[in-house]
Amino acid sequence: MAKILIIYYSESGNTAEMAQLIAEGVKMKEDVEVNVKDVSDARVEELLEVEGVIIGSPTYYGSMAAEIKKFIDESVKFHGKLEGKVGGAFSSSAQIGGGNETTIMDILKAHLIHGMIIQGSPKGDHYGPVAIGKPDERSRKLCIEYGYRIATLVSKISSLSQ
Ligand SMILES: Cc1cc2nc3c(=O)[nH]c(=O)nc-3n(C[C@H](O)[C@H](O)[C@H](O)COP(=O)(O)O)c2cc1C
């Protein structure tokens, strides 16, 4: 069965809550498994074992938290080996216009440099789900939908390679 790993860093719980909501969405796709991990419990080796990787971070000065950056930098160990996997990103910030989209783009850039496949969205949050503080009704819905969309893509790509 195809697998998605959701990795996040969260100091006050908002990004962690988004990670769980995205996982809920993934679980709606029956042929895809999901594992959610705090970045401090995740090892870069695990990236090799999954078909999709979704990374979430609070917005810190318009970019990802150092803990997430460190994990991404460690993934250089597998540079070239993650090509063709699906990547995604999400972020929580304190304010609208506080940099959550630039945070997502920074994570997506790392996925692209690994040769991963990114899916945007023509409606809702175009680059990946965002929340302002604790996810509200709008963010909750978009996180669940995002999980389902990424799982659907992972499922399609995995069926091609079988
Ligand atoms: C060091 C630091 C930098 C931050 N920088 C920003 C920022 O640039 N823009 C913003 O809107 N919020 C910023 N915040 C607020 C967090 O992004 C926000 O509280 C977020 O919801 C925290 O997520 P968490 O509950 O997963 O830790 C910052 C918080 C900290 C601690």
Q: Whose CA is nearest to atom 17 of ligand 1?
A: 93
Do 149 and 119 meet the contact criterion of CB atoms below 8 Å apart?
yes
- Ligand 1 centroid to 60 CA: how many Å? 5
Residue 55 has pLDDT above 70, yes or no: yes
Q: Give residue-wise pLDDT tens across range 34-46.
A: 999 999 999 999 9
Measure 30 CA to ligand 1 centroid, in angstroms. Answer: 34
Asked whether 99 lines ligand 1 (CB < 6 A), one says yes
> Which of 10, 20, 93, 134 gets mutated to test ligand 1 (max ligand atoms within 8 A of its CB)?
93
Q: Which atom in ligand 1 lies closest to the alpha carbon of residue 14?
A: 25
**Which of the 8 DSSP states describes residue 13?**
S
71-99: pLDDT as tens digits: 999 999 999 999 999 999 999 999 999 99
